[in-house]
Amino acid sequence: MIKSKPILSINNLCVNYLTKSSYKNKQQYAVKDVSFSMFQNRSLAIVGNSGCGKTSIAMSVLKLIKPESGQVFFNGKNIHKMHRSELFNFRRQVQPVFQNPDEALDPLMTIEKSIRMALSSNILKSQKRDMIISLLENVGLGQEHLKKYPYQLSGGEKQRVCIARALSTDPKLLILDEPISSLDISNQAKIINLLKDIKEKQNLTFLLITHNPNILKFLIDDVAIMKDGEVLEMSSYNEMILNSQNEFTKRFFRNEIG
């Protein structure tokens, strides 16, 4: 059997926000020696309690922070050794959706402009508007939203705009960091359905970060459980809920860990 190559590999990742002089032991690492690989069309969730290092992994994968040690490979290329054009492609192929759309959207930009800024400069100006309309339609928003500012949208609509913007570069991997946590229950369900839909239609792979076990079964194949900066265990979702012997994992799936 030919094994496909990973879309993303993380090798021995360590993240430490403290300066060398201010830490004395490994306890102060936000991420401690984390390694895993992800394959196309096999979505992974990183789950665990608050402060265990989930976002630090996401930020490292997005190359928004520099890990103290370890490497991140995207399609076999070390993201810290990429040339300009490789980095440009990487930035388009790996797109984030964050928890809070209010922080992700510029309050002084219309929805149209926010998405336009993300579109490739190679696309003709005349085609951009149609593309933006179709990106918005794809996430269930109509043309009437084009000229609106973020304050004129609901939380759920703003998160849809963030998803549309993330999809505007035709990414392969979406990094979703608590994408529904800031939304009310009915919007949470709608955004889960939307993500499920676009994942299937657009052949996307998700790296989903969440502390909510209830959304896993709809969106992901594999789960990594984190605690205190380390991955405690990693397996397929089904295997984990059926067979995990780990007490922390069992508590997580019983919704006892927030």
239 binding partner (options Mg ion, ligand ATP, none; Cβ < 5 to 8 Å by kind): none
Two structure tokens written together for 16: 């430490």
For position 45 contacting ligand ATP by CB under 6 A, the verdict is no
Q: Which residues of 57-66 are buried (b: 16+ CB within 10 A; e: fewer)?
A: bbbbbbbebe
Q: What are phi and psi of 183, to 5 degrees?
A: -105, 160
CB nearer to ligand ATP: pick between 146 and 234: 234
CB nearer to Mg ion: pick between 18 and 51: 51
State the residues that interact with Mg ion by CB under 5 A.
55
Least CB distance to Mg ion at residue 208 (A): 12
Task: With contacts defined by CB under 6 A, name the span among 47-55, 136-144, 238-246, 247-255 that binds ligand ATP.
Answer: 47-55
Least CB distance to ligand ATP at residue 160 (A): 22
Q: What are phi and psi of 56, to 5 degrees?
A: -60, -35
Least CB distance to Mg ion at residue 30 (A): 10
249 binding partner (options Mg ion, ligand ATP, none; Cβ < 5 to 8 Å by kind): none
198-257 positions binding ligand ATP, by CB under 6 A: 211
Chosen residue from 10, 44, 53, 183 binding ligand ATP by CB under 6 A = 53
Least CB distance to Mg ion at residue 181 (A): 9
Least CB distance to Mg ion at residue 196 (A): 22
Two structure tokens written together for 167: 């999809």
211 binding partner (options Mg ion, ligand ATP, none; Cβ < 5 to 8 Å by kind): ligand ATP
Least CB distance to ligand ATP at residue 226 (A): 7
Give the DSSP H or E segment for 193. helix 185-201
CB nearer to Mg ion: pick between 16 and 55: 55
CB atoms under 10 Å from CB of 169, counted, come to 16
Cα–Cα dist 258/252, whole Å? 8
18-37 positions binding ligand ATP, by CB under 6 A: 30
CB nearer to ligand ATP: pick between 56 and 159: 56
CA distances from 90 to 7, 77, 83, 107, 232 (A): 11, 10, 10, 27, 29
Pair 115, 168: CB distance under 8 Å = yes
Q: HSE, CB side, 13 Å, CA atoms: give it for residue 224.
A: 23
Cα–Cα dist 75/172, whole Å? 10
3-class DSSP state for residue 33? strand
Chosen residue from 5, 26, 35, 51 binding ligand ATP by CB under 6 A = 51
Sheet holding 69-74, edge to edge: 31-38, 8-15, 69-74, 77-78
Give strand pairing partners of 177: 209
Least CB distance to ligand ATP at residue 50 (A): 3
The type of residue at 192 is: I
Binding site for ligand ATP (CB under 6 A): 17, 30, 50-56, 211
